[in-house]
Amino acid sequence: MKPDLEDQAASAEGPWEECFELAVQLALRAGQIIRKALSEEKQVSTKTSAADLVTETDHLVEDLIISEMQKRFPSHRFIAEEAAAAGAKCVLTPSPTWIIDPIDGTCNFVHRFPTVAVSIGFAVNQEVRDPRRPGPCPSGPGAPVQLEFGVIYHCTEERLYTGRRGRGAFCNGQRLQVSGETDLSKALVLTEIGPKRDPATLKLFLSNMERLLHAKAHGVRVIGSSTLALCLLASGAADAYYQFGLHCWDLAAATVIIREAGGIVMDTSGGPLDLMSCRVVAAGTREMATLIAQALQTINYGRDDEK
């Protein structure tokens, strides 16, 4: 089924309607570029590790999205994966800020494995983190953190996931609803490996997976795209997700979609979500999210806003 742009854009009434509509249009345009490039030869480079890949299409899509947004909204700010890799700071301010992953699942894209997506999140009224005060920025009800909407486009399956704060989450016009599962022994859990592959990190990663399997989770899955894994959670196809090494551009759009589908997104410590912390637990219920968080050992990836 192809995305019904009119239906989803119509649900975007409010102060950020024009921004939402532009995000949908650009995600669909980017998806066309990615679908075409998927079967073509690629120029592949590495970033932080041999498993952290980037292609010319990542740069092309990111440049397209940002340039079109700057034309329409010249006062807005941007956080984008490839710009950050080139040294741009990941800074959230009170200004409207676009948080962009041009291709989530670049390793999949390189290998022509079709689980790839474009992710565009939008934040406003973000409290600036005070480095003198440890811990995450305040989040949740009543806090100044406002992720207004998220748009994620599964390029090969032409599935458009959208969520807007207070207005629900949808896939191709169909409302999304998370699983209500609270029992870890009945759960399907999703995760991603992350780019660090040193022996100590791999040991912790495998140990976390082993802990969940010992708790008799039905299964643990890795699909190579964190944003699409989180969308599967929002749709009720999985019960929980966790990851260390997840960046703000992987998480911003998906957080809105999961919350609007009735789910929970929080820190692996069990506290409120900190978008810059490079760690997350998400689930359909708070009970499930808490069980997952309690089972995990921390893998330190630092913070996006301190790199």
Active site residue 81: yes
Contact 193, 199 (CB under 8 A): no
Q: Whole-angstrom Cα distance, residue 208 to residue 136?
A: 23
Contact 257, 234 (CB under 8 A): yes
Contact 170, 162 (CB under 8 A): yes
User: Which candidate in 104, 181, 267, 305 is catalytic?
Assistant: 104
Nearest to 223 by CA among 146, 134, 116: 116
Active site residue 239: no
Nearest to 218 by CA among 193, 194, 191, 183: 183
Active site residue 106: yes
User: Which candidate in 81, 181, 260, 305 is catalytic?
Assistant: 81
The count of other CB atoms within 10 Å of the CB of residue 70 is 13
User: Which candidate in 58, 62, 82, 101 is catalytic?
Assistant: 101
User: Which candidate in 103, 120, 152, 264 is catalytic?
Assistant: 103
User: Which candidate in 58, 148, 181, 250 is catalytic?
Assistant: 250
User: Which candidate in 57, 97, 106, 115 is catalytic?
Assistant: 106
Residues 6+ apart with CB under 8 A from 180: 284, 285
**Structure tokens, 14:** 């409010």
Active site residue 298: no
Q: Which residues have a catalytic role annotated?
A: 81, 101, 103-104, 106, 250
